[in-house]
Structures are given as structure tokens and as C-alpha cells.
Structure 1
Amino acid sequence: MPELISLPSVDTEYAALLVQLAALRHDMVRAAAQAMNRLEAVHPNFWLSAHNLVHYLALRQHDLRPLQQQLATVGLSSLGRAEGHALATVDAVLAALLELAPPTDPVGLLPPYPAPDFRSGPRLLAEHSDALLGPPRPARDVRIMVTMPSQAATDYPLVRELLRQGMDCMRINCAHDEPTAWRRMIQHLRRAEQELGLSCRVSMDLAGPKLRTTGLPPGPAVLQLQPERDAYGRVLAPARLWLTAREQPQDAPTAATATLEFPAAWLRKLHPGDVVSFVDARGARRVLLMQGASERGGWAYLFKTAYITPHTRFKGPTSTATVHQVPCPESYLLLRPGDALWLTTPPVPPASASGGTAGSTAPALIGCTLPEVFDHVKPGERIWFDDGKIGGIVERVEPGAVHVRITQARELGEKLRNDKGINLPDSQLPLGALTAEDREHLAFVVQHADMVALSFVSSPDDVSQLQDHMVQLGGRVLPILLKIETRRGFDQLPALLLRAMQASSCGVMIARGDLAVECGFERLAEVQEEILWLCEAAHVPVIWATQVLESLARGGMPSRAEITDAAMGDRAECVMLNKGPRVVEAVRILDDILQRMADHQHKKSALLRSLHVAHALPELNGEP
């Protein structure tokens, strides 16, 4: 017979676990007592939820992985689903241990404390989600939010179809369009609600203090025209040009290579078969062959490549004319690793923005929309451009300029244009979340929206300022969506939640675009997990946003990774889609994915290491 293995006393192991859990519970209750000033300030709707958030933060200050393993070894809960009812979870395990290994003096081990239990925790989250986002559709628990394109202001069938396919919340971004268009979008939604018998909330995003590139002057006004050629350079079809009157320009009746505007009197003298000659910008002689003409305009064929400027003179059978307008292309800087780039306060000199390359000896120059941040940027800090496509390190700061060395870009170069985002994740920027433009837009928002999204929120004061301004407007005080899109906003999330919970309703949007740049793409998965856990502990609904089914919405096919990402959105209370030509199909597919996932997944169990943001509240660390 095999030799029997002697096991350690199970009672001894139970007793050790009992001591550890009792110490954890003591820390959780003490943390709530220390944070009582903040807890007493929350709205009654969130009273239990705020206590649970502080309990959870105190729990997650510890690395619980060894304890989890020990609990699992003896067949007890490993605390992996404690988010919605942190104290009740610990109490349940303690109660089991008390039955298995009763201590000699159990008095005072489990003093009563107000906290959500296993039933009330999920119920509170559901109630808060319904209050903010409206009730979910029958077949799924997760709502769908859709960002409106400008087209929604003039295309009622589009809004109606989005609602029919599954849209639960219309998102209007105040950074685009204007109040007249926003009003029409909402009117279309209300009409569709009446026709379909469905309901849909309206969320409006305040743009916030977005740092962007600016100042690059437009490129030269040159229009390149070329015929269609095969792989050997032989002409397959001429360039087909639509010539129209500048006084009353008409769109080309069919697809054209380009449209050129000329004086109507000059065009009336042209007839089919006429030849129009000109010398292009390179000095090359070229001809246009007229193929048709009418009061609206005429067709002309070009058989050789030509470059046209506003100064190019076209000679017809009786007279000459110039093109009314040649569009100026958008200029850019081509940046490679090692290049020098200066962010400047004054306007960029025209010579700096020819669409060429930056060199390591002659730095490229580009402006910044908020140059006041220069005073708060330090050498050695990171800087990112255009959603993280280009990265660099600040080398020097001087009055009116920040000197940057490019460290991240494609070897062949990455184009940097005007109006591209700038992220400074290491810099402490004193920018309030509300701009003067946001305050102007807020007057419309409080009258027409169901919730307002606060972009680039980074401190509880930002939330207070928005609340105060809504009160000053004398209208409704809307629920606030905290858009977590900066590193500072993520670090301050516990304090932001407790401040937002002073209202009767609130929510959080994980704005994964800027957040990935700020925290590092490699950390995004970890960061969004922490946000989900904290919001579940606070019973605050979460909106999973940015690039969900992006390829599909923009007109292509969704990637496998995008389908998986959309399915993971089932762990939030709402998933947001961005606008695109195929956004209706994206809503339909997302609705199907979420219905399927509703049968397979609800939230998540996890290994509980020490949580970075658990240290964000001073009260938890014994500080006054």
C-alpha cells in the first residue's frame, strides 16, 4: 500500500485565515469611519454605494493573491467577486470560518455595519443604470450609445433606423456642428420615438480644453490632374474635367476627375471639338479637348499630366481666362525618430510648413492651441501627438517654445497636421475641464439633453464647477458623465466618484482613445479593468467607448479583435459606437453580439493584487 501523507491541522489553517480576514474587515470599517465627511455628503441614492466604494478601496490596498489561494485551497470564496458588496463578501467568508473553527472569544468579530449585501449590491447598480441610461432592451442588459454624424441633422430616416436597430442613447458631441443642427437631431429622435414606440436618452459632450496642433499655413494652391494609366505608364483613359461657370457653379452630372470654374462669358464661347491650350506650373504645354457644352457647363479631356495654379492662363478660340479657385492642400510635417520639433506660441512662419520633412539640424515648427501650458512642462516629460502616432521627449523649455525630440514614429516618417491632439501625460497642467465655449454650449445642453459628459475631468473641483454652472443657468441640473481620458483623471477616479455621487445620478465613460495615449497602450487593458471594478463597487454605470467596431462603422469589415472587444463591452452598462457610413449596420451587429453575450457573461472574477488608485484617498492612509 502507498504510504499515507500526514496533513497539517485544518483547524490551525482555518484559525490563521480567520485572523487575516478579521484584520481586513477591521481596515475596511476603519476606512469608512475616516472618510465619513465625504460619505455624509453623497446623495441618499448613493449612501450605501459610497460606503461600499470605500470598503472596496480599503480591501484593494492589500495584495490579496496569497490569501485568495489559501481560501480556494480550503474550498471557500476567494473574494474574486467582491466589487458590488465588499463587506458582505468578507463577512460571508468570516461566517463560514466561524462555523468551521469557532474561536474561544468571537464577541465583536462581526459588528454590524451598513453595507450592501449580495442582493442589494447588484440591485443598486441596476437602479442607478436605469436612472441614467433608461431601462435596457428586453433581450440584453447593456445599452447602445451612438455618436451622431452631421448628417443626422438633415436625415430623419437615418435617426429612425438607428433607433429601430437598437440605439438606446443618442450622443451629440458639442465639439462638432452647432445648436441648430443639434436641435434638429433631437427633434428627429423624438419623432422616431413616437413612430416606433421606443425610448432613447440624449447625452451631450462638452468639448473641454483639448490641446491641439495649429498654425501650419496651407500648402501651395496647386491642382494635379492626370489621366488613368496602366502599370507601364500608358494612358488608359483621359482625365475628365467638368468646366462650370464661376457665377453659378454646377456640380458635375457624373463622376469627374476635377471641376474647374471659369467666367460664364468665356465658357459660352466654347464648343465641342474646340482645343483649349495652356502652360502648366512646370512650364509644360498642355491642351484640353472640349467634348460637350451646355448652359450648366462643359466636359473637357486632358491626355497628359498637368499642374494648375490660380495663375495658369487657358487660351480658348477667341480669348483667355484663369481658373476661379484652386484648393490649397492641407500642409503637414513629416517627422521621423530623432527629428527636432518646436511647439511655439507665435504663428508658425510660412517657410516652416511646406509639407516637407523635419531635419535634426533645422527643427520643424508647429503651434499649440493652449500655449499657456508651456509654463508647466518640464524637460524629460513625454509628449504625444495625433492619438499616439508620434511620440517625443521634451528636451528644453523656453519662453514661447517647447523643444521636443521625436522618439516614436515610423522609420519612413509620420505626417503631423493641424488640429491633431497633443497629450502630455507626465505634466501637471492647471487646465479646468470647462472652457468658455463649454459654458456657452451648456445653456443649450441643460434644456435639451438627459445627461452631460464632462471631457478631460481631472479633479473633484471640475465636477463642482459644472454643477454650479448648471445651477446658475436656472435650468435642470443634469446627471454628469465623467469622461476618464487622462492619467490624472484615472488617478483621481475614487475622489471623482464620491464627488459625482453627491448628485442623484451619475456615470463614467472610459474614453479609451486619449486614455491609451496618456497611460500607455500596454497598460490600457489593466486600466480599463480597474475603472470597471471601481465603478461596480460604487454602483455607478459605465460606458465602454472609443473604436468599438470602428472598421465596420467606417465602411469596412470588422476585425476579429474588434468583435472580441465589442463582446467584452458586455461587462459595462453601455457600449458607445462612433459615427461612420455603416453605423446602422454596426448598431445591428453590436445588438446581436450583446444579446448573445448576455447568456454567457456578467462582469468578471479576478485576482486581486494591490490596486494603484486605492491609495488615492488620503483618509485611507491615515492622513487628515
Structure 2
Amino acid sequence: MNTAQTKYKNGLNQAFLSELLENLLELKEKLNYGIDPQIKNVSLLNMKQYLNLRKYDYSLLQDNLTRVGLSSFGRSQAHIEASVIVALRMLSLALDRELELGDAYMSYEDSHAIMDKNATLFSNSDDKTKIMITVDSNYEEDKDYFSNLSREGVHLFRINTAHDNPKAWKDMAKSIKNAQSEDKELKVYVDLAGPKIRTSLREADRDKKIKVFYNEYVLIQSSLSQAFHDKKNRYSAIIGCTLEKLGSITSVGDHVFIDDGKIQMVIEEIEGEDIVCRVLTNSKKGSKIKDEKGINLPNSDISLAAISEHDKEILPFICEYADIIGISFVQGADDVRMLIEELERLGKKDKIGIVAKIETKKGVQNLPSILEALIEYERAAIMIARGDLAIEIGFENLAYIQEEILDLCTAAHIPVILATQVLESKMKTNLPSRAEISDVSFAHKAECVMLNKGEYALETIKILRTILLQMDMVFRKNKLLYNHSFEWK
């Protein structure tokens, strides 16, 4: 008997099957550890069971299940208890043992029905993965802008309130709705700008090219500083920051990133509420600092409400036409509930969908409670905003973290938008990179993919749709291994 035959025979050994059954019974018991028995919402219950599952390493058990031809639960995030019960019943039949397992609180079919219903937040289209694109401010130059994009496959259009003004946003929304047809509804997604931390240059410096070089020192002043520092004997540049009490929330050794990570610095000294940083970006041409560019402080514990006062001021106007509202820089469940309260005050609760954008380290850490708040609201989704998120958690961790976020959202039956730099080279130059194509092959796991604006939008949407359709054909071949998760213990 060869080695393969021996392994196969051992796989069907009664003792092996009995041990497998006992391991599965132990897993089933652990699924409900610490969960309030009063929970009635099946999505919330399933998410909590999935989190319990991820406290342990079940990869060996998964392999053993595969050896005997049973499901390894690699794609069972949405209905974990139902899958475990099915495997237990199959093993009990093979061993001729009677088990009182009862029925799962939610079946495979029920879980997918919930997910399909929740995904209609983006569109009623039969397309598995919906496409959203950011509206170009110059859209009026092409009278068929929205209808052409819709014809190629766009389901939603994103309006970014960090740019333009309320009248421009309203005109965009009106044009979007005018372009929809009886066969295809187009939805308006509006992003609130939120409390983004930005550079603030002196008026005299805004038209200049402020460049910094490797190992030079930059003084970053808090918005609380009375006036710009004028001591130039030590600093190659002096810039402002829109964040108050900058020195109080940072420490020497913390990293600072400017302009989507293009400029990396480290804090060398703290002067009151200002910080002195040394440039780590090594570029022969130097790194240009511009006005109103984002600043990331991934090592700092920054407590800023996701809904700014400006957001609250423009919200009544946005509610006139928005189908979905996105909350930027969500760090906890309170940020979600704050928007829900504002919508309730405006009489729009449950009428407008909400999307929580995960783009900070704290947002990832608090994702379970954020999802719980979204489950309560029902018409809700998550956006993986990979631009700021990559800087916050480290670029080397992005691939792992975005996979973890997708799986947890599936367990919560909450749909996901994957955003930032999707086919960016294709959008700008009409020539995609090989890495971008691989990235899109991952993006099909989300319910929606977001494209930024670009000159070659129509061509990009065509290639995106082709890739998504191809990946749908092989999607169910993958197996996820349930090692213990270090994010949500």
C-alpha cells in the first residue's frame, strides 16, 4: 500500500473520525462563550460567534475536515454555526452515533438572503460587485458623462464634500438622477469630509515650492500657536497643522506622514504644542510640501469626532438628494451613532444609507463595535479606505488587514466597498500595471469597488467588469484558514 493510500485509509479510521467529532463539538461549544443569550439579531449573533472562533487556531482541524471530504468552513463566515452543525451530522452518521444538535438559528440560505438584501444598498442590479466612481468636477464638459459611465457598468456616483460647494454638489446629484433609466437606478453617495488633519501654509508660502530633503528639520506648528515661528537657523521649513494641541498628543519617536505618505518624518523634539520633525524621505529632488495636504500620526491617540461642525452644517442640504452618506475617519461606534442621531433629527433616519469608512488604526481595532452599530441601523456598509489606512497600520500589513476586515464584515452580513487606487494607472494613463490587475482580482470579494476620477474612466470600467466577471467563476475555490486573530481577541 503506497503512502497516499495509507493516508486515505487513516483518514477514514474510526478513531480519527471520533476525534474529529469531539474537536467539532468543542468548537461548537466555544462559539457561544460569553454571548448574551438575549441577542435576537441573527447578524449580530453570527458576528460574535465568528469572533469567538477567531480566538483560537483551527487550521489543523480544517485540514482534517478536508481530508475526510467535509467542509473546512473556509467560506462559512456568514453562517458559521450552520456549517458546523452540518459537519457534525455527517460525522455522526459515519460513526453511527446519535447527537442532539438541534437546528442552527440561521441556515446557509437565510444568511445569503440577508447579505443579498443588504447589498441592495448599492444597487438592485444582479451584478455581484457594484462599481462606484468619484464625480469629476469638470463633468459638465461632457453632456453624456453620467449616462456613458452608467452604460459601461457604474451603479453609484460619489460626491466628495471635501471639494467644491453645496450648489455644485446639488447640481451633480440632479445630473446623476437625470441620467438614470427605467432599467437602471443610479445612486448618489456623498462623503462627508470629516476632521482630516491637514497642512496649513502661511499665505506668503502658498505659491512657493517648499522643499525638504533627507535629514533636514521641519517645525510643524499646532493650530493653537499664536503666530508662525520665525527662527529659520534650524528648520528647513515651517508649516502649520490644523490639529490643536499637537504637542500634547504626540511623543518623541512618533512617525509623521504628509500627503498620503509621500513625505515621512519622525518627531525629534516637542516645543509646547509644536513638534520638530526630521525628514526620513530620501529623494534627490527633495520632497515638496503643499498646502491642505493630509497629515497622518499613526502612533498618536487622536480623539476627534468623525462628524465635524462643518459636516453638521451641510448635512440638511445633502439629505435632500443623498441615497448614501459616508462618514470619514470613523474610530468607534459613537461616530456612527452621531450620524444616526443627526439623520433622526432631520427626519431621514432609515431613509438614507450610511457607510463607515475604516481608515485609522483605531477604526480597525474598534471594528466589531462599529459593525454592531451598523447592524442596528440596517441600511449600512463599510468602506475600506486603503489610502490613509495603509499609512496608519503600515503598508506591509494592508493585505492581511483588508482580508480580515472583509471576513468580519461577511460574518456581520455588512456589505463592503473597497476603495483607493483601484486601477489608478489605468484611469490616468490607460495602461494598467500588473500589480493593479492582481489587486482587482482581490477586490471582487467586496460588494462594491470604488474608482477615483480619471481621463480614461470608460476604458477602466470595461477592464474592471471583465476581471470581476472572470473572478466570480473561481471565487468559491478559495479556502480561508482560521488561525487566531490578533486584532479582535
Q: TM-score, normalised by structure 1?
A: 0.72
Match for residue 273 of structure 2 among 394, 400, 407:
400
How many residues align structurally? 482
Using the TM superposition, give the Cα deviation of residue 91 of structure 1 relative to its aligned residue in structure 2, in angstroms. 1.2
- 1:148 corresponds to which residue? 135
Pair 21,5 (structure 1): closer, same or farther in 2 beyond 3 Å: closer
CA shift digits 1:176-209 (9 cap, x unpaired): 1111111111111122114x74211111000111
1:551 and 2:411 equivalent? no
Aligned to 1:520: 394
Q: State yes or no: 1:209 paired with 2:195.
A: yes
Paired with 2:478 and 2:336, the residues of 1 have a C-alpha distance of 29
CA, structure 1 residues 468+409, in 2 after alignment: closer, same or farther (shift >3 Å)?
Answer: farther
Matched position secondary structure for 1:72: helix
Q: Which residue of 2 aligns with 1:348?
A: 228
Matched to 1:529, the amino acid is E
**Residue of 19, 24, 41 corresponding to 1:21:** 24
> What is the letter of the counterpart of residue 600 of structure 1?
V
> Whose helix fraction is larger, Structure 1's or Structure 2's?
2
Bigger Rg, which one: 1
Report matched runs for 1:462-501 at 5 Å: 462-477=335-350, 478-501=352-375
TM-superposed CA distance for 1:212, in Å, is 1.0
C-alpha contact (below 8 Å) 1:174/1:441 kept by paired residues: no
1:375 is matched with 248
Using the TM superposition, name which of 512-521 and 5-14 deviates more: 5-14
Conserved? CA contact 1:154–1:184, under 8 Å: no
Aligned with 2:327 (options 429, 432, 454): 454
In the alignment, which residue of structure 2 is the partner of 1:289? none
**Alpha-carbon distance in 2 for matches of 1:107, 1:466:** 47
- What do residues 46-94 of structure 1 show as CA deviations (whole Å, max 9, x unaligned)? x222111111111111111122222223333222112111111111221
Displacement after TM superposition at 1:149 (Å): 1.1
Q: Measure, in 2, the Cα distance between the counterparts of 1:177 and 1:197.
A: 31
The amino acid of 2:171's aligned partner reads R
Question: Cα deviation per residue 1:546-592 (whole Å; 9 max; x = unaligned)?
Answer: 11111122234111221222232211111111011222322233223
Report the AA paired with residue 372 of structure 1: K
**Aligned partners of 1:543 and 1:573 also within 8 Å:** yes
Is 1:598 equivalent to 2:440 in the alignment?
A: no
CA distance in 2, matches of 1:610, 1:218: 54
Superposition deviation, residue 98 in structure 1: 1.4
Q: Which residue of the partner structure matches residue 321 of structure 1? A: none
Pair 1:124 & 2:127 matched:
no
**Match for residue 216 of structure 2?**
339
Q: In the alignment, residue 546 of structure 1 is paired with which amino acid?
A: T
Q: 2: distance between equivalents of 1:350 and 1:203?
A: 44
Choose the corresponding residue for 1:165, options 141, 146, 152.
152
* Contact in 1 for aligned 2:209/2:288 (Cα 8 Å): no
Amino acid in the other structure paired with 1:187: K
Partner of 1:564 in structure 2? 438
The 3-state SS of whatever aligns with 2:82 is helix
C-alpha distance in structure 2 between counterparts of 1:101 and 1:405, whole Å: 67
Say which SS state the counterpart of residue 219 (structure 2) adopts: strand
User: Cα distance 1:592–1:77, how it changes in 2: closer, same or farther (>3 A)?
Assistant: closer
Q: Describe the superposition over 1:372-405 as per-residue Cα deviations: whole angstroms up to 9, x where unpaired.
A: 3432222232221211122232233331311223
- Which structure 1 residue ranges, 4+ long, deviate > 6 Å from structure 2? 1-9
Aligned residue for 1:273?
none
> Which residue does the alignment assign to 1:242?
none
2:136 matches 1:133: no
* Structure 1 residues 48-447: aligned runs within 5 Å: 48-102=42-96, 108=100, 110-114=101-105, 116-130=106-120, 132-137=121-126, 140-152=127-139, 155-194=142-181, 197-219=183-205, 329-336=207-214, 338-345=215-222, 346=225, 347-349=227-229, 361-362=234-235, 364-410=237-283, 413-447=286-320
| Whole-angstrom distance in 2 between the partners of 1:75 and 1:334 | 60
Question: Is 1:539 paired with 2:417?
Answer: no
Please state how far the C-alpha of 1:163 moved relative to its aligned partner. Answer: 1.5
Q: What is the rounded CA distance, in whole Å, between the counterparts of 2:14 and 2:154 in structure 1?
A: 56
SS state at 1:32 partner = coil
Describe the shift of the 1:5–1:548 C-alpha distance in structure 2 as closer, same or farther (beyond 3 A): closer
Contact 2:252–2:267, Cα closer than 8 Å, also in 1? yes
Q: CA RMSD in A?
A: 2.5
Identity value in percent: 34
Amino acid of the structure 1 residue aligned with 2:456: R
- Cα distance between partner residues in 2 of 1:603 and 1:543: 22
- Structure-2 separation of matches of 1:91 and 1:107: 10
User: Whole-Å Cα distance in 2 between the matches of residues 183 and 166 of structure 1?
Assistant: 23
Q: Supply the distance in 2 between the matched residues of 1:330 and 1:166 (Cα, whole angstroms).
A: 42
Aligned counterparts of 1:396 and 1:123: Cα–Cα separation in 2: 55
Q: Secondary structure at the match of 2:147?
A: helix
Q: Which amino acid aligns with 2:221?
A: T
Give secondary structure in 1 for the equivalent of 2:377: coil
**Which has the larger share of strand?**
1
Q: Cα deviations across residues 271-328 of structure 1 (Å, max 9, x unaligned)?
A: xxxxxxxxxxxxxxxxxxxxxxxxxxxxxxxxxxxxxxxxxxxxxxxxxxxxxxxxx8
